[in-house]
């Protein structure tokens, strides 16, 4: 079986349909009765069906029927961002079970209200735990009808500002109130003209704006009869490849499993959230970790091989240099710094042969000391701790009262014709400031030879 197969488990009123989507083709595999009182046997049957049809451990999507969820619309009077924790207490009066035993999600409809969908957590948790024990990871739990609506909205954009979509399935129908391509209200009713007309009339009375009717997968003349009884106009929607609920929802479910989009209403959270959130991609993560480990090992081996090459080259250079020194000075011991010794010998031989005519420029220290003494301010209290002169460079260490006094001494040395950097000062523990000044005699400007006119 191709690894691109997507698996959907459609659960509704104790019956579960196994659906596979491969290369865009929806295939209904088998139907299974699910008894939550014997969940172990049910999950074993599901696992057997999947294995017989080539299941290879891919993540699956659990789609809930309209009868297994409860929906309501909550008004948002504050206009602030809605949070699921706050919505849980607002929708509790509409739930047939306590909010602690529920798992819910919501979909905002503008800023004024939100569509909230909830389901009982305990049966779903038992089913998901049994499937996970048999190696079947449930990656998403969402209402089947909402996936169907997503397929409709993708093919029928801007159908009308406000319309009621009646989508038939067998002897029941899902009624959606859609406003600006966002669901506002959801009802699940019997597919009978009186029941559907009563629901539409109730919606029309509660809503302050008119809407039109849109029908899918309905019997002939059903929509016309509804329009005649309710007085609401009807419009035609863009045709779909198939208006069967499971076929449309399976295409959207495959997109969710492939990671191309998120489920509009995701109930795989809170109590139903898997202990390992990355279980659906655990195999890929292990392959990635193995590839990363292999890459690190290869990089280490390459670095070690390169290091051995460099070490061999260095050792060869050391050997050749030692042999050269032994040939030049056979009676001397090979020193540690062979390069320095050889460079010194080259400099000495150049001087003996007269190849080097540059003589070192020696700067008399008396001239620098005289400049220092003349540059010291007369109206400043200071103490000189150290004065050092080395071949034209002057180093002065002393103490003054403030940081600015060291700058005055540096300015005096600059006025005396020395290049002086910024003094380094630091505050003493008791009082005063210690300073260090470094200066040197600037080099004379180089004279370029002038060419004589020819």
55-72 pLDDT, tens digit each: 888 889 999 988 889 988
pLDDT of residue 348: 75
Fold that domain 157-237 belongs to in CATH? Nucleotidyltransferase; domain 5 (3.30.420)
pLDDT of residue 188: 92
pLDDT of residue 277: 56
pLDDT of residue 330: 84
Give me the residues of the chain with pLDDT under 70, please. Answer: 1-3, 77-81, 110-111, 274-282, 336, 351-363, 445-454
pTM of the model: 0.59
Fold that domain 365-440 belongs to in CATH? Gyrase A; domain 2 (3.30.1360)
What is d(CA 271, CA 211) in angstroms, rounded to the nearest whole number?
A: 38
Count other Cβ atoms within 10 Å, centred on residue 378. 4
The β-bridge relationship of strands 424-427 and 393-400 is: unpaired
Residue 209 makes CB contacts below 8 A (sequence gap 6+) with: 162
Query: Are 434 and 389 contacting, i.e. CB atoms less than 8 angstroms apart?
Result: no
Extract the tokens encoding 48: 């057997």
Helix 245-257 / helix 144-155 crossing angle, nearest 10 deg? 90
pLDDT of residue 2: 46
Nearest CA among 168, 176, 217 for reference residue 192: 168
Architecture of the 1-156+240-277 domain: 2-Layer Sandwich (3.30)
Nearest CA among 101, 125, 69 for reference residue 264: 69
Alpha-carbon distances of 336 from 43, 327, 347, rounded to whole Å = 79, 16, 19
CA 289 to chain centre: 18
pLDDT of residue 448: 55
Beta strands in 121-206 (DSSP E): 138-143, 162-169, 172-179, 182-190
Domain boundaries defined on the chain: 1-156+240-277, 157-237, 292-353, 365-440
Identical fold between 157-237 and 365-440:
no
What is the per-residue pLDDT across 195-236, written as a single tens digit (0 to 9) for each? 999 999 998 888 877 899 999 989 888 999 998 988 889 888
pLDDT of residue 1: 41
């Amino acid at each position: 079986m191709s690894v691109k197969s997507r698996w959907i488990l459609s659960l509704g009123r104790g019956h579960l349909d196994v659906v596979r989507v491969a290369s865009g083709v929806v295939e209904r595999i088998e139907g299974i009765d699910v008894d939550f009182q014997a969940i172990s046997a049910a999950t074993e049957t599901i696992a057997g069906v999947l294995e017989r049809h080539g299941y290879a451990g891919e993540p699956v999507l659990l789609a809930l029927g309209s009868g297994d969820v409860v929906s309501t619309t909550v008004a948002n009077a504050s206009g602030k961002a809605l949070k699921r924790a706050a919505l849980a207490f607002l929708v509790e009066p509409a739930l047939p079970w306590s909010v602690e035993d529920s798992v819910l999600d919501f979909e905002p409809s503008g800023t004024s209200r939100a569509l909230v969908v909830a389901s009982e957590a305990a049966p779903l948790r038992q089913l998901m735990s049994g499937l996970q024990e048999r190696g079947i990871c449930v990656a998403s739990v969402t209402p089947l009808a909402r996936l169907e609506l997503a397929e409709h909205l993708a093919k029928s954009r801007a159908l009308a500002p406000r319309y009621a979509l009646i989508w038939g399935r067998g002897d029941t129908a899902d009624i959606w109130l859609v406003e600006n391509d966002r669901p506002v209200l959801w009802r699940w009713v019997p597919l009978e003209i009186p029941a559907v007309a009563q629901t539409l009339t109730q919606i029309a009375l509660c809503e302050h704006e008119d809407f039109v009717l849109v029908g899918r997968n309905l019997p002939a003349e059903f929509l016309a009869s509804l329009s005649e009884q309710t007085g609401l106009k009807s419009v035609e929607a863009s045709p779909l490849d198939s208006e069967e609920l499971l076929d449309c929802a399976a295409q959207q479910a495959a997109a969710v499993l492939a990671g191309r989009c998120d489920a509009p209403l995701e109930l795989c959270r809170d109590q139903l959230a898997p202990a390992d959130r990355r279980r659906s991609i655990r195999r890929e993560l292990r392959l990635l970790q193995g590839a990363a480990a292999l890459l690190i090992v290869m990089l280490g081996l390459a670095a070690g091989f390169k290091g051995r090459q460099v070490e061999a080259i260095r050792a060869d250079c050391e050997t050749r240099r030692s042999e050269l020194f032994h040939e030049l000075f056979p009676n001397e011991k090979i020193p540690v710094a062979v390069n320095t010794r050889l460079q010194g010998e080259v400099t000495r031989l150049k001087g003996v042969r007269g190849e080097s005519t540059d003589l070192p420029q020696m700067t008399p220290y008396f001239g620098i000391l005289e400049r220092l003494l003349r540059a010291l301010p007369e109206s400043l209290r200071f103490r000189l701790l150290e004065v050092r002169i080395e071949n034209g460079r002057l180093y002065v260490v002393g103490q003054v009262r403030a940081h600015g006094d060291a700058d005055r001494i540096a300015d005096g040395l600059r006025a005396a014709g020395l290049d002086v950097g910024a003094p380094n000062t630091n505050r003493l523990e008791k009082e005063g400031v210690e300073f260090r000044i470094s200066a040197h005699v600037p080099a004379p400007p180089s004279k370029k030879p002038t060419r004589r006119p020819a």
